[in-house]
Structure 1
């Protein structure tokens, strides 16, 4: 009996103000200075976003080397380990580690374990008069406090960048944990743009007027003012890491 491979089926959806990217249609991209690795451009300006989100798979021969110019980069280790040299210092990274590299910095990632996976967020830095460019940050999510969100102990937020206390930052990266059965207390509609990937669990996401089943490994883009809501399903927490733009004028002064 012949087996038919259904190559025309995908759960990825791209709309005017949101997208759900499930990874079943990824095609490799090449980035100058990033060698011996797989790079998937998940979110980008080509779809209407004002930032970029990548998934990168590294191996022992991988080298990610470059200089940030107009764009800052946030690296997060989803799985595996690597070494990074930035600002003249060498750091060992493991699962949950993250590196924030501001503009005008040289960086090099190397000596990764096989099948190490990175998430990256890239955003053009918006200078703000009276505030200096942020410093390099190398840390691990395990050292970041979980704060209760909207007075609900089943909603827990980790702020990986000190954006709430430092207007030098024009981007935030947070990890949001929903305990089983937890959900956002209202449908959010706001000027901030989001990019995210699920690290654990599953649930239902409302984007605009549509509803999507979401699971570990899925990524989402939300344009400004896209109505959004999420509810966790299943017996384990649903966890995602997400980007948003913050701390700048909604219109140029």
Structure 2
């Protein structure tokens, strides 16, 4: 069994002796779901997934996420699905944080271990199972693909973050790097799911304000994160949602590196009518 450097929730239930006060926050500009609230009482289940439970971190909702959903899936031994995706318009990304999984993608079998990453276009034939003797956990991010006439749909692929060289941000001397699974200039893709890494002392030295909606799951370490007008302490296992244009900055205080899985919507013309649905090719 492969060891994992990433945080994966184990559920459980808080004792009656624990304090109610926590770091959970839900505002118009951002939300913080700390690891301490990802417990048994907030699990969900899905059709055609056997021996599997999940935590829903984000979903399209008025005043919350607009473009994507994100789950932490926990698959027990013998669990999985032969019909995992029921929405023909949904593309997906899988990122494994614990255990081992067997992904069958367009008839080809892949073994996914921690760090394993798969991009799955809409209407793709795939299955996922846990054939091992231990629980496996992965993130499943889903988005309705925005087709553009003349731009082909991206192909499915499987990789592992260990096989990708991180790209340093200019002027940071490697203190801030991004593991990019998709070329930024590839217009076939309308979402990026990357891994951002800060060495201790690394920082986002200004309040970023841009159009992309963000979902951030902290894989390792801790930091102080600027969300709108607030500085919030976050650590491995926490999830943050940031609305488009929400100011954000970060300071990684150490002692270890700070890493998070980052979702953002990209590469599409801004819709001019609130709630307008993208045009879809036949």
TM-score band, normalised by the shorter chain? over 0.9
Give the drift of 1:7: 5.6
The residue aligned with 2:224 is: 204
TM-score, normalised to structure 1, is 0.94
- Tell me, yes or no, if the aligned pair for 1:190 and 1:224 is still in contact at 8 Å: yes
**SS of structure 2 residue aligned to 1:49:** coil
Equivalent positions of 1:80-95 (< 5 A) are 80-95=99-114
Please list, as runs of the form range in 1=range in 2, the aligned pairs for 1:54-203 lying within 5 A after superposition: 54-64=71-81, 65-67=83-85, 68-113=87-132, 114-152=134-172, 153-162=174-183, 164-203=184-223
CA distance in 1, matches of 2:16, 2:114: 38
Q: Which runs of 5+ in 2 are unaligned?
A: 1-14, 273-277
Q: Using structure 2 for the length normalisation, give the TM-score.
A: 0.84
The Cα of 1:121 is off from its aligned counterpart by 1.0
Which of the numbers 69, 72, 93 marks the counterpart of 1:52? 69
Q: Distance in 2 between matches of 1:217 and 1:240?
A: 9
Q: Would the aligned equivalents of 1:59 and 1:112 in 2 still touch at CA under 8 Å? A: no
Count of equivalent residues: 250
Question: Partners of 2:237 and 2:36 in 1: how far apart?
Answer: 11
Contact 1:66 1:106 in 2 (8 A): no
The Cα shift of 1:87 comes to 0.8
2:22 to 3, 10, 29: 10
What's the CA shift string for 1:9-33, capped at 9, x where partnerless?
3321111121111133331111112
Q: 2:193·2:263 contact (CA, 8 Å) conserved in 1? A: yes
User: Are the equivalent residues in 2 in contact too, given 1:37–1:62 (CA < 8 A)?
Assistant: yes
Deviations 1:58-110 (A, max 9, x none): 12121133345111110000111110111111111111001111001122111
Which protein is richer in strand relative to its size? 1
| Equivalent residue number for residue 55 of structure 2 | 40
Whole-Å separation in 2 of the counterparts to 1:53 and 1:7 = 28
Deviations 1:152-178 (A, max 9, x none): 12111110123x131010000111110
Matched, 1:230 2:247: no
Cα distance in 2, alignment partners of residues 4 and 66 from structure 1: 37
Alpha-carbon distance in 2 for matches of 1:35, 1:196: 27
Alignment RMSD (CA, Å) = 1.7
Structure 1 segments, 4+ long, off by >6 Å, are none
Given candidates 30, 36, 39, the residue that maps to 1:24 is: 36
Question: Contact 2:223–2:234 at 8 Å: present in 1 too?
Answer: yes
Residue 4 of structure 1: how far off its partner (Å) = 5.4
Unpaired stretches in structure 1, ≥5 consecutive residues: none
